[in-house]
Structure formats: C-alpha cells, structure tokens
Amino acid sequence: MKAIIQRVTAAKVTVGEELISSIGKGLCVLVGISNEDNANDVDWLAKKLLNIRLFEDPTGKRWSQSVLDQQLEILCISQFTLYNRMKGNKPDFSRAMQGAEAQCLYSTLLQKLAAQYEQTKIKDGKFGALMQVHIENDGPVTIEIESPPQSQQELEKLKRATAHKARSKGGPMAESTKEGEGQ
C-alpha cells in the first residue's frame, strides 16, 4: 500500500456540490492499493499513519508528535492512480487493485484506524467516486510511504491464517479453501 500524507490545517472532500467529509488540523492521506497488497499491508499502514511524527510539540520541537499525541483527525481518500506507470504519454493503472477487493482492503484500513484510535477522528471520501479534494497544506509537509514487500514465507503464513479463520467461521471461503488445499 502506498500513501501520500499531507499535514493540513483543514481538508474536505466533495462530490459535485455535496460535502462528503471534512477535518480541521490533521492529516489528509491519499491511499493507493496495489494488486499485491493484503492484510499485512493494511496493518503496517494503519500503524504508520497513527504514529508518524509530523507535528511540533508544545515547546516547538519539530517532528516530535503524531496525530495520536495531539488527538488530531485523519481524512483518508482512496486513489488508485498512485499505482500507475507510464506507457508513452498515457498512464497505465494495471498495478492498482480493482473494484470490490480494493474497496474491502480500504474499508479494513479505515476500520483498523478507528479501532486503534477514535472512530470519530477517522474520515474518508467516497470510494470510486470522482471527488474534489480541498486542502490547506500546513508547511507544506507532504510525505510518501509504501508498505515493504513481503517474503514468500510471510505471504504463506497470511494465507494459512486467512484459511483457518474462514474454516473456523464456516464462511464461504471454507469450502473453496478445502478444495484448493491439495493444489
């Protein structure tokens, strides 16, 4: 997962003339999800967003406090265009995760942020919509981060944990996982 993090004094998202979300001082985060991302990437990004130190402390010391420390808000906006590559003069977005799967991971990120912080301080845009993002960049401070690549061992561990969770819940993945185990 990739995030463009902007320290803001205010930010809002509109779709047409409709206000979707707004925040005061905090972070505006553009979130890109690649075809290779999974729950580990969500966990990593949630932890980073809550703990990245982009704010001054009360004595004026820079880069010493996080949104948690100052009880600030976070506005997340899904943005598939972060996973682009140029083919001539035209952007190609084939590295970006598509549709329902991307929306599921994005929703999971929002849920993790809310669970680890305060639900009322986590805002988001409208997934898949043509949005207008209005920000007052503070500083300006803009940071790009990306979750680290995972080893094959980590991916296999996640796959086993997901399959076990599905079997224990008796969910729809339980049957397909059992059928695919011998492959």
Mean pLDDT for 50-73 is 97
Question: If you average pLDDT over residues 111-140, what whole number do you get?
Answer: 97
- Say how far apart CA 79 and CA 16 lie, in whole Å: 17
- Confidence tier at 154 by pLDDT (50, 70, 90): confident
Model confidence at 52, pLDDT cuts 50, 70, 90, reads: very high
Say what the pTM is. Answer: 0.83
Residues assigned a catalytic role: 79-81
Q: How confident is the model at residue 148 (pLDDT cuts 50, 70, 90)?
A: very high
Mean pLDDT, rounded, for 61-84: 97
| Structural class in CATH, domain 2-148 | alpha beta
The full set of domain ranges for the chain reads 2-148, 151-183
